[in-house]
Structure 1
Amino acid sequence: MTTIYGIKNCDTMKKAFTWLDEHKIAYTFHDYKKQGLDEAAFERALKQHGWENVINRRGTTWHKLPEATQKSMNAEKALEIARENPSIIKRPLLSANDDLVLGFSEDSYAKVFK
């Protein structure tokens, strides 16, 4: 089962959807805005990639956090903040074939679905 997590209107998400559709890969879309955070998938991403990679520190949601929160960030706090602000999670998060891919690149998706 392939699941892609994110926010529908994100440009990177649109690229990922297009790639999956063009390669005729069936997937389920988990929309953070409508369905909220999938904590199990998020915790798995934290364990596999570390909060530093799972949390999008370039986005506006991160920059709106108090500086003290940014400086004291860890995996536990990342989970708390992602519950309240799932848009802080790097997008997309793709779960397929026991792989967990952060972000989108044609190469990384091609490796998962080879």
Structure 2
Amino acid sequence: MIKVYGITTCGSVKKALSFFKAKVIPYSFVDLKTTQISEETLEEWLSKQPLLRLFNTKGTKFKTLNLSKELSDEAKKEWLLKEQLLFKRPIVECEDGALLVGFDEELYLRTFSS
């Protein structure tokens, strides 16, 4: 089953969830406000997507923490493990092992049309 990671108040997450509901695609939702992502999961995601894709420098949490865009990769990983809201959302684990980050309707249509 597809697993969607995000927060319910995020516009991109809402679009992704609406997409899956409209296409009657079963999924499970993991709330990043209440679920801690493990270092193992982060490393698995990083084997599929670059760190720059997973680390959200445009979100509110990045701005309120007053983080520098010049953070090292190691520092970014540490922050992602401490502050789940720094992940770009949604993160979608597909049944075939692929990992999608963010909502792109065209990509979703190509990926999930069967």
Q: Does the TM-score normalized on the shorter chain lie above 0.5?
A: yes
Partner of 1:61: 61
Partner Cα distance (1:40, 1:25) in 2 = 27
| Aligned counterpart in structure 2 of residue 92 of structure 1, from 79, 90, 93 | 90
Partner Cα distance (1:56, 1:21) in 2 = 26
1:52-75 CA-partner distances (Å, limit 9, x unpaired): 1110111122232443xx42320x
Mark the runs of 5 or more structure 1 residues left unpaired by the alignment. Answer: none
Matched to 1:50, the amino acid is P
CA contact (8 A) 2:48 2:98 kept: no
| Identical aligned residues as a percent | 27
Scaled by the length of structure 1, the TM-score of the pair is 0.85
Partner Cα distance (1:39, 1:26) in 2 = 27
> Which structure dedicates a bigger proportion of its chain to helix?
1
Equivalenced residue count is 111
Matched to 1:90, the amino acid is K
1:29-108 equivalent positions in 2, closer than 5 A: 29-63=29-63, 64-67=65-68, 70-74=69-73, 76-96=74-94, 97-108=96-107
The yes-or-no answer on 1:111 pairing with 2:110 is: yes
CA contact (8 A) 1:32 1:86 kept: yes
Partner Cα distance (2:61, 2:43) in 1 = 19
Distance 1:112 1:38, change over 3 A: farther
Partner of 2:5: 5
Mark the runs of 5 or more structure 2 residues left unpaired by the alignment. Answer: none
Partner of 2:28: 28
